[in-house]
Amino acid sequence: MNDVRKFARVAVLGRPNVGKSTLLNRLLGTKLSITAGKPQTTRHQILGVLTEGMTQLAVIDTPGIHQSATRALNRSLNRAARAALEEADILVWVIDATRFTAEDELVAGLIRDAGKPLVIVLNKIDRIPDKSTLFPRLEQLSKDFSPKSIVPYSALKERTGARVIGELVKLANPGEFVFEEDDLTDRSERFLAAERVREQVVRLLRDELPFSTTVEIEAFEREGNLVRLRPSSGSNVTARKRLSLVAAVNNSSRSARRHV
Ligand SMILES: Nc1nc2c(ncn2[C@@H]2O[C@H](COP(=O)(O)OP(=O)(O)OP(=O)(O)O)[C@@H](O)[C@H]2O)c(=O)[nH]1
Ligand SMILES: [Mg+2]
């Protein structure tokens, strides 16, 4: 069996802000998806490719599934998450161990209906002082959702995603690799650069930031190891806020540039 290649599409799902993108980065061992302490940071499906020996996992980070789907942007975020769920062979449901909300219930319903192999990651356990309180939670989740496994985890504190990867490798079915073994993502450097700038903008401006802010890279030039970016931001903001947004984009591009 060890010389048979395996491939699986994995969707990372959950309500906003539970740590899905932080988990994806941990699984890949590198920063691909942007993270922030603000809900709805992830705006698109972000594919990370993880090739471990004979197994390739195409792991898709998704926007948090949420209830207030009245705005067009909100609806499109939910659509992106549902599409990933439909295409996946395996589901990873990320739950924040400190809080289970009505939005978690919403995700729970979708996951139950999908009836796909499920790994539950009970994340942020570093914030639970008495770990023994987790046992009844684990038992209840196991009873309610019959997951293949539940991994109590801290995407922030643990160095690797090895335990989660181990569970996913076990669940992958035989199949040819879809990506090259050294592929990390199907996203362009330009997209990733725009995301890094948006991450800095979200982190710097937090509540001041209009919900619909986008970042575009107008110019992307390589000079040896240096990447020169000209980012711009679009959103409906007042002149005063626009000034701080422009300043944040400029600062952000400086700090994002170091990471691209
Ligand atoms: N304490 C703690 N914080 C965490 C952990 N994992 C993630 N976080 C933090 O939780 C916040 C949200 O993390 P993200 O990875 O951006 O969450 P997300 O689920 O991708 O959020 P959306 O993209 O908005 O749906 C960030 O401030 C992370 O640093 C964890 O295990 N412990
Ligand atoms: Mg995210």
pLDDT tens-digit series, residues 2-30: 689 999 999 999 999 999 999 999 999 99
Residues 162, 216 share a domain: no
* Statement to judge: residues 211 and 150 lie in one domain: no
In angstroms, the CA 21 to CA 36 distance is 9
Do 159 and 206 lie in one domain? The reply is no
Q: Considering the domain boundaries, does residue 1 fall inside one?
A: no
Of 140, 174, 208, which residue is a domain's last?
174
Q: Tell whether the model's pLDDT for residue 208 goes beyond 70.
A: no
3 alpha carbon – ligand 2 mean position (Å): 35
Q: Note the pLDDT tens digit of each residue in 74-128.
A: 777 888 899 999 999 999 999 999 999 999 999 999 999 999 999 999 999 999 9
For the chain, the domain total comes to 2
Cβ-contact 75, 69 below 8 angstroms: yes
Domain match, 71 and 200 both: no
Residue nearest to atom 1 of ligand 1 (CA): 124
- State the distance from the centre of ligand 2 to the C-alpha of 121, rounded, in angstroms: 15
Which ligand neighbours the alpha carbon of 151 most closely? 1
43: CATH: 3.40.50.300
163 and 43 fall within a common domain: yes
Give the model's pLDDT for residue 259.
Answer: 47
Question: Are 146 and 194 contained in the same domain?
Answer: no
pLDDT in tens, 151-205: 999 999 998 899 999 999 999 999 999 999 999 999 988 888 888 888 887 887 7
- Mutate-to-test residue for ligand 1 from 92, 156, 203, highest number of ligand atoms within 8 A of CB: 156
Whether residue 182 lies inside any domain: the answer is no
Measured from the alpha carbon of residue 14, the closest ligand is 1
Residue 200 lies in a domain: yes
- Whether residue 216 is contained in a domain is answered as yes
Protein residue with least CA distance to atom 23, ligand 1: 42
Parent domain of 73: 6-174
> Residue 49 pairs with which residues in a beta bridge?
58
Compute and round to an integer the Cα radius of gyration of the chain: 19
Task: Give yes or no for residue 239 having a pLDDT over 50.
Answer: no
**Alpha carbon of 203 to ligand 2 centroid (Å):** 13
Percentage helix, strand, coil for the chain under 3-state DSSP, each rounded to 5: 40, 25, 35
Between the CA of 92 and the centroid of ligand 2 the distance, in Å, is 14
Q: Which ligand is nearest to the CA of 15?
A: 1
Evaluate whether residue 150 is within a structural domain: yes
How many residues would you count in the chain? Answer: 260
Residues 169 and 50 in one domain: yes
Indicate if 57 and 131 belong to the same structural domain: yes
Is the domain of 30 the same as that of 151? Answer: yes
Domain membership flag for residue 203: yes
Band of pLDDT at residue 237, cut at 50, 70 and 90 = very low
Mean pLDDT of 125-150: 96
User: Which tens digits make up the pLDDT trace of 149-158?
Assistant: 999 999 999 9
* pLDDT value, residue 200: 82
Q: Residue 107: its pLDDT value, please? A: 93
pLDDT tens string 24-78: 999 999 999 999 998 888 888 999 999 999 999 999 999 998 887 666 777 778 8
| Domain C-terminal end among 125, 145, 174 | 174
Task: Measure 156 CA to ligand 1 centroid, in angstroms.
Answer: 8
Helix, strand, or coil (residue 61): strand
Could you tell me if 201 and 83 lie in one domain?
A: no
0.95 exceeded by pTM: no
Domain-embedded: residue 90: yes
